[in-house]
Amino acid sequence: MLEELETLQTQALATLEQIGGADALPQWYRTHLGRKGNLTELLRGLGQLAPEERPAVGQKGNAVKKALEEAFATRQEILREAELEASLNAEPLDISLPGRPVAMGRLHLTTRMLRQMRAIFAEMGFQVYEAPEVETDENNFELLNIPPYHPARDMWDTFRVNDKVVLRTHTSPGQIRCMREYHPDPIRVILPGKCYRYEQITPRSEHQFFQVEGLAVGHGIRMTDLIGTMAEFARTMHGPDRRLRIRGSYFPFTEPSIEMDMDCIICEGQGCRICKYSGWLEVAGAGMVHPKVLANGGYDPAEWSGFAFGLGVERPAMLHHGIEDIRNFYANDLRFLRQF
């Protein structure tokens, strides 16, 4: 059997040498090394040998297998190179031509702004909570203490999907989702995301825009916590000397409600075209979470309190970069986008 193995090896190697194209290689492999190949067939006879002969034959069998596999790999390599060479000669290719540059992408201005905001709130211990853009009417309005036919609905012109589903008009409905998920733990989150309003598109207003909502729920949370958080945010984001101004306001989901302005980052409060000569820019709507909203989220308002705020995203970016037209954010004009 040792001799048979030797013969098999010699013959197989000889046929391999004669193969002229890579196409014929698999057939050779099957014939000699395959599951039903002649080496396997031959070694099947191993069982009929006298036990003392088996080890030597087994070893030889392995050696032949290894030799054939190595020869196969080498032959395959040689044939591939030859074919590549031939195809290059057949179809000349100028490999000295410079390649085409791959265009580098970059982050959208809004994305960069959002990342900055997330980082600032992360420092203050706020996690990010993601809520959907397509919302129920219930979360977007009712559970935020805005019943149907309440005149406060006029504050948000709404894209409707059907009677019960809307494109969220603000990120506030995420508060309900978050409270229902986290209850009964305390909460400190921001909810960044896109909102939609059925509005005419003008240089100053888009029908799609981003907001960053904030929500803190806990024991003994007070208005001063809200103001402190907002002041820290404004100073980290817009400069250490920023001053805040608090005005009383109205939102159905907060009580009391406030609006926050900071001194104009363009004129430092002197008065300019951007701040309409008032010296102040609006930064956020905010307030203490309304007891009804806390209850809708599952928190007993007798024990828990919280604050919430809603920050704009595009508007401050416009101020920083002197962008006059909000429509640029969605126009996909590379000349605009490349500047940031």
Footprint on residues 167-196 left by ligand DAH (CB under 6 A): 170, 172
287 lines the binding site for ligand DAH (CB under 6 A) = yes
Q: Compare residues 22 and 155 and give the one whose CB is closer to ligand DAH.
A: 155
Element (H, E) at 259: strand 254-263
Asked if 43 and 6 count as a contact pair (C-beta separation under 8 A), the reply is no
285 lines the binding site for ligand DAH (CB under 6 A) = yes
117 lines the binding site for ligand DAH (CB under 6 A) = no
Shortest reach from residue 274's CB to ligand DAH, in Å: 21
**Residue 22 structure tokens:** 């890579």
Asked if 171 and 211 count as a contact pair (C-beta separation under 8 A), the reply is yes
254 lines the binding site for ligand DAH (CB under 6 A) = yes
Q: Compare residues 213 and 263 and give the one whose CB is closer to ligand DAH.
A: 213
Q: Compare residues 72 and 253 and give the one whose CB is closer to ligand DAH.
A: 253
286 lines the binding site for ligand DAH (CB under 6 A) = yes
Distance of alpha carbon 112 from alpha carbon 106, whole angstroms: 10
Footprint on residues 12-51 left by ligand DAH (CB under 6 A): none
Buried b (16+ CB within 10 A) or exposed e, 205-235: ebebbbbbbbbbbeeebeeebbbebbeebbb
Asked if 230 and 191 count as a contact pair (C-beta separation under 8 A), the reply is no
Shortest reach from residue 241's CB to ligand DAH, in Å: 26
Q: Compare residues 170 and 188 and give the one whose CB is closer to ligand DAH.
A: 170
Asked if 283 and 319 count as a contact pair (C-beta separation under 8 A), the reply is no
The position carrying tokens 């559970």 is 143
Shortest reach from residue 324's CB to ligand DAH, in Å: 23
Cα–Cα nearest to 317, from 270, 286, 281, 287? 281
Shortest reach from residue 122's CB to ligand DAH, in Å: 19
Who's near 70: CB < 8 A, 6+ residues apart?
none
229 lines the binding site for ligand DAH (CB under 6 A) = no
314 lines the binding site for ligand DAH (CB under 6 A) = no
294 lines the binding site for ligand DAH (CB under 6 A) = no
Options 210, 251, 280, 304; binder of ligand DAH; rule CB under 6 A: 251
Q: Which residues bind ligand DAH (CB under 6 A)?
A: 170, 172, 213, 251, 254, 285-287, 308-310
